[in-house]
């Protein structure tokens, strides 16, 4: 039984990933700043942007569940504003959670994975990495995460550690509620319109993203690394 860490795993896509990895037979630690409604084998209050918080949480995971061999860097959010109105604090907040967080967890988890000759890092990117207006910090962070994925894959590959990214398109979560409001639509309208525009004629759900994460986290995916898989109901990338 492997130990998996899912950041931002209390709700939305992260909760879907935590549920799927548990169903796959892994013991799952959920790390989140808000553990309301969270389900996992251990639940830890953790801010992924804080080196101290991540270090304490990983120590706790190792002592309670065992050393993690799977890390899913899912915690993230957007704060949409036009570039010329964006505050430095909003730039930092988004880049710190989406990008710095993935660096901090991967740096902590990698040595034990390298020593064991096995590890799986899965980063949750976004179709926004390809460009999206009024969220330059989020776009920069997610495309940075794609670059981080490829560079880390090159470094960690010789040690049996794969690093991949899953890039969701429109996926119904709390974040979608905010995206709908941004466009002046109700959530129902937003889901309907987005589904109509999608080649597969539907919206994504956390289970769709979790399915791709489950593949990258599996032992059989050892020959797949440095990839960004768009799970978006459309040919992207």
Q: Which residues are catalytic?
A: 138
If one asks whether residue 32 binds ligand NAI (CB under 6 A), the answer comes out as: yes
Q: Does 34 sit near ligand NAI (CB under 6 A)?
A: yes
> Mask of contacts with ligand NAI, 177-216, x by CB under 6 A?
----------------------------------------
Confirm or reject binding of residue 71 to ligand NAI (CB under 6 A): no
Closest CA to 206 of 166, 159, 171: 171
Name the minimum Å distance from CB 116 to ligand NAI: 25
Query: Counting contacts by CB under 6 A, is residue 48 touching ligand NAI?
Result: yes
Q: Considering only 3-11, 59-67, 112-120, 220-228, which stretch makes contact with ligand NAI by CB under 6 A?
A: 3-11
Confirm or reject binding of residue 12 to ligand NAI (CB under 6 A): yes
77 counts as binding ligand NAI under rule CB under 6 A: yes
Quick check: 168 binds ligand NAI (CB under 6 A)?
Answer: yes
Q: Residues 3, 4, 5, 13: which binds ligand NAI (CB under 6 A)?
A: 13
Smallest separation (angstroms) from ligand NAI to the CB of 42 = 15
User: Contact residues for ligand NAI (CB under 6 A)?
Assistant: 7-8, 10-14, 31-34, 46-49, 74-77, 97, 124, 126, 168, 170-171, 173-176
């Amino acid at each position: 039984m492997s130990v998996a860490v899912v950041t931002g795993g209390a709700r939305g896509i992260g909760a879907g990933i935590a549920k799927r990895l548990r169903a796959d037979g892994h013991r799952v630690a959920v790390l989140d700043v808000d553990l309301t409604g969270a389900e996992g084998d251990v639940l830890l209050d953790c801010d992924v942007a804080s080196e101290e918080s991540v270090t304490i949480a990983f120590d706790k995971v190792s002592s309670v569940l065992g050393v993690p061999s799977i890390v899913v860097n899912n915690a993230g959010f957007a704060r949409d504003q036009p570039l010329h109105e964006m505050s430095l604090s909003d730039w930092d907040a988004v880049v710190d959670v989406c990008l710095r967080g993935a660096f901090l967890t991967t740096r902590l988890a990698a040595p034990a994975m390298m020593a064991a000759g096995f590890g799986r890092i899965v980063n949750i990117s976004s179709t926004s990495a390809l460009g999206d207006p009024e969220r330059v910090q989020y776009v920069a962070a997610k495309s940075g995460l794609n670059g981080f994925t490829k560079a880390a894959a090159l470094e960690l590959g010789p040690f049996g550690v794969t690093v991949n990214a899953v890039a969701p398109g429109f996926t119904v979560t709390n974040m979608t509620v905010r995206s709908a409001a941004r466009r002046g639509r109700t959530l129902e309208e937003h889901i309907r319109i987005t589904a109509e525009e999608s080649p597969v004629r539907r919206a994504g759900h956390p289970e769709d993203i979790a399915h791709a994460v489950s593949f990258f986290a599996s032992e059989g995916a050892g020959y797949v690394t440095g990839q960004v898989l768009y799970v978006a109901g459309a040919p992207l990338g």
